[in-house]
Structure 1
Amino acid sequence: MDINHAIIATYNANLDAKTWVQTQDFVRGAIQLRFGRHHKPEQVSQALSVLSGFADWVLLTGACSLEESLRADIIDSFTATRELEILPYVAARERKTLRSIAGLTNTAEFDRTSTTAPVSQPYTSDEQGAIRRWAETQPSERRRTLCGAVVALTLGAGLTRDNLMHVRECDVVALDDGLVAVRAGARVVPVIEEWNEHLDAFIESASDNYVVAPDVTRRSGVGMNNILGRTPTHSWFPDVQRMRNTWIIRCLDAGVPLRNVVDAAGLKTPEMLRRLIPFMAKLDGDAAVRAFRLEGEVMGR
């Protein structure tokens, strides 16, 4: 028996006995398949440790079955949770190990530790997917509800930090189409359909409880960073203003009239959207010409 095979066969994870019984065959089998050869013993030991923690998280969250768990999206969900527990570069290293175990290439993808993008720049579709996974894989039901509501009310309805802190459960309503809307002062903002699920539980509630951080007494958006989980060593979380801007640009790119977007966003003037123009959709060439033709529409006929 070679040394790597012996390490795998005798490995016992630092998990409770019941969990290890459920996960050991999966962990040992996956490492034997991908790390059994051509890796140093210390790499094999590290991979066993990382995969054991990943398997424990999969069972805890019920994200999927162990057999289906070594997928890019599940690994990214795990990484989003780990970034709130360990240093970002360590979480990135674990992600790289898991992708290697899964047989996935380790190309550069969405960097959750980056803070260089301007708030005017919308989140890409991949980044929005990562934000969804970040919210859905928080370590407790309370945190999942909180973070899910925050991203749904910003990416889905374009609320500001202060708006977020003043939404009560009774402000989440269903419109005639059966989908969710949220009241923000005098405004009623329909929520983008893909984000409805994170607010469904509040529909038709008569409660005056706040949706976001109901136990916080100071209802100001200045504390949003702390509410979302900022710590001295784990600083990544989605930016509320950037999510709001993402909503604005998505609505405009989808053809919602500018006046409707301005009113729904609570903006005093469209001039406040000037900084978003560089990030809005733009047609070129024949596509732009066809758009300006207005499909041959003749006014007055």
Structure 2
Amino acid sequence: MVADLIVVIIITTEDIVAVNLEPPKVAAPYWNEIGDFISTAVEEAGPAIPYRQGELLRAATGLTLWAWQTAGLPLERDVIFRRHTIERFVAEGLAHYTNSGRTTRRSQLLRMAEFLLGPKVMPPRMRPIGLPEALAPYTHEQLASFKSWAATQSPHDRRVNAEVLLSLGFGAGLAAREITNLRVGDIRLDDRGVLVEIRGDRPRAVPLLHEWEPALITFVKEHRSTDWAFLPGRTKVYKNVITNFIYWSGTTEETPQTPRMRSTWIVHHLTSGVHVVPLLRAAGVQSLEALARYVKYVPEVDPDNARAALRGCGL
């Protein structure tokens, strides 16, 4: 005789789709007005998002309460969960959070919004929260040392590549991936100097600082337009190509790093008084916040000259 088969099904709280969680205390007085709106949104989006129901409930409650009570927005899904509303809530309603906390909460809300409104309504890319500290620019002494490092590379091809690297980093402020992706044909020579055309996700044209023009002019004239601008003998773009090149230079002294070369380029232009709009475009950034990080490295201006400039009498 076959024993009866007993099947035990264990249901955890994570398997429950319906939102039967206690509303956050901060929203309790208003739950009759906003509770259904929040619960429905969490119930629909929750199963498709890799966050716990409780986390989504707290995130949606914070957003909805702020939008409805503080911003005065209607309880409409395409209004509450639109990207602009989420950005405002994170910036204003979560100002007391850490950058990490705001980033997490924003990610939760964006995933909900993408499911509830669809990816076409919710563009996936948003600016990062809390830009990292700007790296200090190189000093004049360090710059002179790097020029000496490049000039003493051997054989000739290594010396040329070292000079190209410094020219693109210090002369145009390019990021590492932009240097490694650049072709000779992207470097234009004309009677006004050298213009570096950047492709990719930050397309732009960057005028090269005149100090760094000679090495690039010579290089461009000696190579085909289809060659890579840095290490033209390679057949592909690969990770750490610049790091590996510098590593095999055989020096024990400090070597140039592309992030600090870019920082040096930005600070140079800020110090020189280049207009902020063309500098934003040349740097491939969209917000003043991205440049404001470097202001602490810009030398102070004489107070009398500063006053004259602010008065409109020139600096």
TM-score scaled by length of structure 1: 0.54
Asked if 2 retains the 8 angstrom alpha-carbon contact of 1:164 and 1:221, the reply is no
Rounded Cα–Cα distance in structure 2 between residues aligned with 1:216 and 1:293: 55
2:214 is matched with 197
**Secondary structure of 1:215's partner?**
coil
Rounded Cα–Cα distance in structure 2 between residues aligned with 1:275 and 1:230: 33
Larger deviation: 244-253 or 264-273? 264-273
Aligned match for 1:154, one of 157, 164, 169: 169
Rounded Cα–Cα distance in structure 2 between residues aligned with 1:152 and 1:233: 20
Asked if 1 retains the 8 angstrom alpha-carbon contact of 2:134 and 2:293, the reply is no
Asked if 2 retains the 8 angstrom alpha-carbon contact of 1:174 and 1:180, the reply is yes
Structure with more relative contact order (C-alpha pairs < 8 Å, separation 6 or more): 1
**Secondary structure of 1:245's partner?**
helix
Displacement over 6 Å in runs of 4+: none
Rounded Cα–Cα distance in structure 2 between residues aligned with 1:288 and 1:224: 41
Per-residue CA deviation, residues 68-112 of structure 1 (Å, 9 max, x unaligned), is xxxxxxxxxxxxxxxxxxxxxxxxxxxxxxxxxxxxxxxxxxxxx
Is the radius of gyration larger for structure 1 or structure 2? 2
Rounded Cα–Cα distance in structure 2 between residues aligned with 1:144 and 1:282: 37
2:188 is matched with 173
Aligned match for 2:293, one of 262, 275, 291: 275
Do structure 1's residue 184 and structure 2's residue 202 form an aligned pair?
A: no
Rounded Cα–Cα distance in structure 2 between residues aligned with 1:189 and 1:148: 18
Rounded Cα–Cα distance in structure 2 between residues aligned with 1:148 and 1:217: 21
**Secondary structure of 2:196's partner?**
strand
Residue identity opposite 2:255 in structure 1 = F
| Shift, 1:232, TM fit | 9.2
Asked if 2 retains the 8 angstrom alpha-carbon contact of 1:230 and 1:237, the reply is no
- How many pairs does the alignment contain? 179
Rounded Cα–Cα distance in structure 1 between residues aligned with 2:293 and 2:263: 10
Aligned match for 2:234, one of 216, 225, 246: 216
| Shift, 1:134, TM fit | 1.2
Q: How does 1:59-74 map to 2 (within 5 A)?
A: none
Q: Which runs of 5+ in 1 are unaligned?
A: 1-117
Query: What RMSD, in angstroms, separates the aligned Cα atoms of the two structures?
Result: 2.5
Residue identity opposite 2:273 in structure 1 = G
| Shift, 1:281, TM fit | 2.7
| Shift, 1:148, TM fit | 0.2
Do structure 1's residue 285 and structure 2's residue 300 form an aligned pair?
A: no
**Secondary structure of 1:295's partner?**
coil
| Shift, 1:231, TM fit | 7.7
Per-residue CA deviation, residues 17-47 of structure 1 (Å, 9 max, x unaligned), is xxxxxxxxxxxxxxxxxxxxxxxxxxxxxxx
Do structure 1's residue 239 and structure 2's residue 253 form an aligned pair?
A: no
Q: Which runs of 5+ in 2 are unaligned?
A: 1-132
2:154 is matched with 139
| Shift, 1:243, TM fit | 0.6
TM-score scaled by length of structure 2: 0.52
Change (3 A) 1:231 1:191: closer
Change (3 A) 1:167 1:234: same
1:258 is matched with 276
Change (3 A) 1:271 1:230: farther
